[in-house]
Structure 1
Amino acid sequence: MSQFQIHSILTANATAKPLLEGSLKKYGFVPNLHGGLAEAPAALTAYIELTALFDQTSFSPTERQVILLAVSVENHCTYCVAAHSMIAKHMAKADRAIVEALRNGKPLPDSKLEALAGFTRSVVKNRGVVCGQTLDKFITAGYSRAQVLEVLLGVAFKTLSNYTNHIIHAPLDTAFQAEAWEEPAQCSSRQCA
């Protein structure tokens, strides 16, 4: 049971209301993640601004979704995996085989995207301490040093929402239900501290 309220435009405080109104305008509904973040308007503002900044990176829409899904799967965030699976397939027009491989922890059918996903997973797993071989593989695949830092931006942005969902237990929005995700059995042995 969550101790957090998922705010609507009506229940949000005066600072969060216009932010949620912006979410409604952008998505056609207020995602429960945004409603949960509205408890702390500075956190919701950071999430919205990081989203906009990440959208300005040199990555294609599909590459951005590969990063966000790789982070979300690695962080075991059922909400974000579902949301980004839907966004990847329907907004970014990513190949469904790529999305399914990411969701299931399988190699991607595209070697460059596999290098991107592998590098991203390594950043998350190793808390940013990435070995030279992993970095070399990323660069050799055709990515730049600037894109190394852009991956870090994606990891920071998505970690904020993954961790928020772990704590507030945002219910999955109806819009994302078709992509509901359960973490693979080998990952579900996490303990609550």
Structure 2
Amino acid sequence: MSRLTALDPEEATGKTKELFEILQREMGMIPNMMRVLGNSSATLNAYMCFNEGMSHSTLTSTLRELIALTVANANGCDYGNAAHSFVAGEIGLNAPTTDDARHGIHSDVKITAALRFAKEVLSKRGAVSDETIQHVKAAGYTQGEIIDIIAQIALSIFTNYIYVAAVTDIDFPKLAPIINNDSLNFK
């Protein structure tokens, strides 16, 4: 049971109502995650602006979803795992690819480097080593792309922490949690 209320869109007022109307138009629904964020119109607005901004980043939508999956799993966010697996499927990624991303791996070496970098950023709270930065650069990522990867990680942490603390009811197909005992260290 959710510890924070997912607002009923019919009862929303003010800025939250305006934002819900935008979400309804754009998504055709208002997921529970947005309804929980709607308890603070400032936070919902910040999320929507951050998410929109990242859609213009140097990262593809595929890589953004894969990073979100890696981060959600590392954070133990069942809602994020379910939501991003659903979105990944909507953009054409298959279940084995999304499951691999939850572990921080991919069949493409460059994408794996980004996902492993994400895990390292999480485990070190951003204080990654020179070697880690050199490794992600050697995989072919520019400085701008590295900044965008870190920003995507931050966006995912932002939402994951809210959904975990709120115990947000999952309104996407549920997934069994993946327990990843692998070291978060970047190697």
Is 1:94 aligned to 2:89, yes or no?
no
Partner of 2:38: 38
Partner of 2:129: 131
TM-score by length of 2: 0.90
Partner of 1:157: 155
Contact 1:70 1:117 in 2 (8 A): yes
Residues of 1 paired with 2:180 and 2:62: CA distance?
Answer: 27
Residues of 2 paired with 1:121 and 1:186: CA distance?
Answer: 12
Letter of the aligned partner of 2:98 in structure 1?
V
Q: Give 4+ residue runs of structure 1 displaced > 3 Å after superposition.
A: none
Residues of 2 paired with 1:9 and 1:52: CA distance?
Answer: 21
Residues of 2 paired with 1:100 and 1:106: CA distance?
Answer: 9
Could you give the per-residue CA deviations for residues 52-111 of structure 1, whole angstroms, max 9, x where no partner exists? Answer: 0111111111111111111111111110111111111222x23543212123x2632111
Q: By how many angstroms is 1:186 displaced?
A: 5.0
Could you give the per-residue CA deviations for residues 123-158 of structure 1, whole angstroms, max 9, x where no partner exists? Answer: 111110111222111111111011111112111211
Letter of the aligned partner of 1:73 in structure 2?
N
Query: 1:180 is matched with which residue: 175, 178, 181?
Result: 175
Structure 1's unaligned 5+ residue stretches are 188-193
TM-score by length of 1: 0.87
RMSD: 1.8
Residues of 2 paired with 1:186 and 1:180: CA distance?
Answer: 18
Structure 2's unaligned 5+ residue stretches are 183-187
Partner of 1:170: 168
Give aligned-pair identity as a percent: 25
SS of equivalent residue, structure 1 residue 15:
helix
Residues of 2 paired with 1:57 and 1:185: CA distance?
Answer: 29
Contact 2:70 2:119 in 1 (8 A): yes
Residues of 2 paired with 1:141 and 1:185: CA distance?
Answer: 24
Could you give the per-residue CA deviations for residues 13-40 of structure 1, whole angstroms, max 9, x where no partner exists? Answer: 3220111111111111101010001111
Residues of 2 paired with 1:63 and 1:150: CA distance?
Answer: 11
